[in-house]
Structure 1
Amino acid sequence: MKTLPDYKVVYELLQRSQSGIRFSDFSLSARIYDMMQKSDHITGINCIILLFDILDELSRCTIYKLLSTTAYSVYNNGNVQARGPVDRVYDYLYNHFKEKVSLHVLAHYVKFNPTALCRYFKQHTNKTIFECLAEIRIEHTCHLLTYSDMTISEIAYESGYNQISLFNKQFYIIMHMTPTEYRKQMR
């Protein structure tokens, strides 16, 4: 799609969607809902046409917010060895964010010295490994706050935090609001 000019806006939408998108245009929501209702009654190529109609509608919306500062992506069909160190760090963090993450274990996974890995990662992302870990955890938290009825404490533990105070502090630093405020805004 990247090379087809007619699909450039859809390609850009899909690129943005790697960070999660929340659309805030209520008339768009109604149009997409109506389109989704039609999907139950059509088959074959008409389903694909409907999908592109939905993507086209979403790509033209200008009232949206990215839900995360990090984009999730998988390269080389999941072949960890074929990717660079930064991709391997992200791979590890996305698969272990609910656990206690040890720099030494992560460095061993990436096949780097811990100090060298921290320096390399910071040079290539302008973030520390643990800033990225916090963003991944908060991204998961935002999903749970939006789509579950779990308590905020349960969500904190489910997102890899063992201390509620650290969870609240990191959530506020990244999202510029408390988890309760975020939940109210999303609902």
Structure 2
Amino acid sequence: MSLLLEEISIKNEHSFRSKIDVLPHIEVPWHHHPEFELIYIEKSRGTLVVGDCIDNFNDGDLLFIGPDTPHIMKNEDSYYQKKSDLRAIAWVVHFKEDSFGKEFFLLPEMSRIRKFLTKSFQGVRISGSSKYKIIQHLKTLHSAEYSQRILTLLQILQVLAQSEDLEYLASDNFVETFQQRSNQKLYQIYEYVSKNFQKKIELEEAAKIANLSKTAFCRFFKSKTKKTFSAFLNEMRINYAKKLLVEGRLTVAQIAYECGFNSPSYFNKTFKSTTGKSPLQLKGEK
């Protein structure tokens, strides 16, 4: 269970990649890459993990993910049925920090864009009028040629740099921790938790993933993340619970079990201590 480094190929005549994927379902493992990534999900639904954030993605979502931020996308189970006629359609752009020259984003005129790109390591969901402007630019970009490609991408980045319609996904602490390239053990732990947080996770199992004793694992995890493993696990579960509460399809008790808590009362207590509100309060705000 190692984090996959995705190799992104770019045509010789281009400085960055723009494509439209039409697939039966999304095949994106737990991975990272040195490129910035802009994704417009025209059609598709499922679960998204960006860093330490577990979220849902739906038709019409627009996401921007910074370089080397680990992420994974998995469709709902209905997409993987043999006779399913569902399709995933996604518009994707990949570019590197030096795609336009090593010092391009260091120019004074690029300061606001540079600030956004730095923050994008957390992963970003774009909504509101900004989303619709960017989607229109993406449609132009897909058919653009020569210098028009670069100009259109810069227009997209300008919208992002000025936008107030941004939701940052992963926590600041996650970004600070994982920008250190020597944390393969943490990548493996995050991958394990993201795949298993809905089930009971024993400390011994997590320690085995890191190839450490329980005591050494607890010290290692606390030193790297500034939080205990149980606190981290509960945070991921609560983040997912908040999304389910807003959706409003399940009862609070159902959400407790769906998120890996073994009792609704413990879920309620943990949720309130983490968010300052009860699950019912959040459910009523949707």
Q: TM-score, normalised by structure 1?
A: 0.70
1:122 to 222, 227, 247: 222
TM-superposed CA distance for 1:16, in Å, is 3.2
Classify 1:103/1:44 alpha carbon distance in 2 versus 1 (closer, same or farther; 3 Å).
Answer: same
Superposed, which structure 2 residues align to 1:1-187 within 5 Å?
1=97, 4-5=105-106, 6=110, 7-17=113-123, 29=128, 31-32=129-130, 34-35=132-133, 38=136, 42=140, 43-45=142-144, 53=155, 56-61=158-163, 69=171, 71=174, 83-185=183-285, 187=286
Q: Is the 8 A contact 1:146 1:183 kept in 2?
A: yes
TM-superposed CA distance for 1:177, in Å, is 1.2
Counterpart CA distance in 2 for 1:183 and 1:67 is 20
Structure showing the higher strand proportion among its residues: 2
Q: TM-score, normalised by structure 2?
A: 0.49
Counterpart CA distance in 1 for 2:254 and 2:150 is 39
Q: Is the 8 A contact 1:89 1:110 kept in 2?
A: yes
Sequence identity percentage: 24
TM-superposed CA distance for 1:113, in Å, is 0.4
Q: Which amino acid aligns with 1:91?
A: E
Q: Which amino acid aligns with 1:95?
A: K
Counterpart CA distance in 2 for 1:143 and 1:99 is 18
Q: Which amino acid aligns with 1:60?
A: Q
Deviations 1:132-156 (A, max 9, x none): 0001111111222233522222222
Counterpart CA distance in 2 for 1:151 and 1:49 is 48
TM-superposed CA distance for 1:68, in Å, is 6.0
Counterpart CA distance in 2 for 1:182 and 1:56 is 34
Q: Is the 8 A contact 2:137 2:155 kept in 1?
A: no
The alignment yields a C-alpha RMSD, in angstroms, of: 3.5
Q: Which runs of 5+ in 2 are unaligned?
A: 1-96
